[in-house]
Chain A
């Protein structure tokens, strides 16, 4: 058995794809105290908006991605203003059912608009560049990378950094963290918690929309369940990182991404079980650190 560095690289790429969705999911949980089960559909929608921009309107891919960012962000605002604002004080079970219903509704809209069949983004195919070739000892450091891989990692990191700056430098970002810390004190301090919640939806949607674009760039194909199919992995990353902590989610996304790729090197673990392996990692960490890696802090 050799450690193939290529698998680590693949894991970083996959981790980058789930990174943005993980941050958004964690923000919503931390600030609004509910798990958004429609997050997978946000990804799907981001992918299809990218498709609409890139294929239907023939725009450059990154313009299409910007559309996904804006559109799904705006959708987040709509959802909050129309639906969630009435449920600020609803019980967790109601919020759970609400977001599940929202997920089914969004998926139905996607199916109506784009149909059930698989769509192809049709970005030019590119053979990966061989960066390194060879091995030392039990490490095989042969690595091939495509420019799409690099773009995915780069974009994800840029947005994650942007989110970090937003959360630490701006008044609204700090207010989001304050609200996540102590909602009633936030109200006492005069923070407009309703607006903060709306902004959180917008940010969470925009990040997931961009995550959907990255997902579409990576797989090249789109279908209505594409986001749903990976949302459990996103949840695993968020819980591993410590639910409610966007920084924990960032770490969780990469750990889960790399772990599930590298797992195939373990004899007896077939590629088919790598998602299961991701959950195994999550459970193992939770046994040791029940609150996740971030341990209840940001």
Chain B
């Protein structure tokens, strides 16, 4: 049984259906990537999994329990955390305060939680008193991931963690993601840097127009000529 199982999920905004029955699995030690063209509904799917967008039909189970209509805060408490694609830090809060808010539902998070984050991202410890909004894009992305890790989740949902970063920083971020995964956190991420992402991923899904198109291991997808032509820029 997979850690996360989404079955025939349907959702959207208002009356507009965006996701038309998508199924996705993530096992407990996996890195899984979702790729697809702009507007495919990747972010919407992530928000649906995290209950930020209502799930109209289908089911989502997490650790074997039906969490389709759980509150966001309950999902966090039970081990699923999410990093939005944009605006994912509190800009006027210091780095440390951002982390503290990540652990809000724990009451006051213990020291070890901060230390774990600082081990992954030493730069955050150096800058812990700095206002988040005044940091570079890469550092903010680290902080956003760090904030979500404060609860030591079993599954981390990342929406385009490398968006807008310089190429060498992109590699840094992926390295960190692998590191986090090795620390027993499953990763489900949406990526535009599809080639790089699939290289690191155990498995991948291709989403288009709100539907599953392809699904296979990262390696197979990378080498599939059709996927390569259509979604990986040739």
Do A and B touch directly, given a CB cutoff of 8 Å in the complex?
yes
- Interface residues of A, Cβ cutoff 8 Å to B: 171, 174-175, 177-178, 180-182, 184-192, 297-298
Asked if A177 meets B82 with Cβ closer than 8 Å, knowing A189-B101, A189-B147, the reply is no
Please, which residues of chain B bring their CB within 8 A of the CB of A188?
50, 52, 72, 82, 84
**Are A182 and B90 in contact, with the CB atoms below 8 A?**
yes
**Are B90 and A181 in contact, with the CB atoms below 8 A?**
yes
Bound CA–CA A171/B106 (angstroms): 11
Minimum Cβ distance to chain A for residue B194 (Å)? 25
Interface membership of B208, Cβ < 8 A: no
A-B contact count (CB 8 A): 65
Closest partner residue, chain A, to B77 (CB atom): A190
Please, which residues of chain A bring their CB within 8 A of the CB of B147?
189
Asked if A178 meets B93 with Cβ closer than 8 Å, knowing A190-B76, A190-B104, the reply is yes
Bound CA–CA A181/B107 (angstroms): 20
Bound CA–CA A148/B165 (angstroms): 58
**Are A178 and B101 in contact, with the CB atoms below 8 A?**
yes
Please, which residues of chain A bring their CB within 8 A of the CB of B104?
171, 175, 189-192
**Are A190 and B91 in contact, with the CB atoms below 8 A?**
no
Please, which residues of chain B bring their CB within 8 A of the CB of A186?
90, 101
Bound CA–CA A180/B97 (angstroms): 14
Asked if A190 meets B93 with Cβ closer than 8 Å, knowing A174-B100, A182-B87, A185-B88, the reply is no
**Are B100 and A171 in contact, with the CB atoms below 8 A?**
yes
Minimum Cβ distance to chain B for residue A266 (Å)? 37
Please, which residues of chain A bring their CB within 8 A of the CB of B97?
174, 177-178
Closest partner residue, chain A, to B82 (CB atom): A188
Please, which residues of chain B bring their CB within 8 A of the CB of A181?
90-93
Contact of B151 among A185, A190, A192 (CB under 8 A): A190
Bound CA–CA A191/B77 (angstroms): 11
**Are B72 and A187 in contact, with the CB atoms below 8 A?**
yes
Minimum Cβ distance to chain A for residue B202 (Å)? 26
User: Would you give 16 A-B contacts (Cβ < 8 Å), ordered by A?
Assistant: A171-B100, A171-B108, A174-B100, A175-B101, A177-B93, A178-B97, A181-B93, A184-B87, A185-B90, A187-B52, A188-B50, A188-B72, A188-B84, A189-B147, A190-B72, A191-B101
**Are A171 and B107 in contact, with the CB atoms below 8 A?**
yes
Interface membership of B166, Cβ < 8 A: no
**Are A192 and B73 in contact, with the CB atoms below 8 A?**
yes
Bound CA–CA A269/B203 (angstroms): 75
Closest partner residue, chain A, to B89 (CB atom): A185
Bound CA–CA A186/B100 (angstroms): 12
Considering only residues 127-160 of chain B, those with a C-beta below 8 Å from chain A are 147, 151
Minimum Cβ distance to chain B for residue A22 (Å)? 19
Please, which residues of chain B bring their CB within 8 A of the CB of A191?
101, 104-105
| From A181, A188, A297, residue with most partner B Cβ within 10 Å | A188
Contact of A185 among B73, B87, B100 (CB under 8 A): B87
Interface membership of B36, Cβ < 8 A: no
| From B77, B104, B151, residue with most partner A Cβ within 10 Å | B104
Contact of B90 among A178, A190, A192 (CB under 8 A): A178
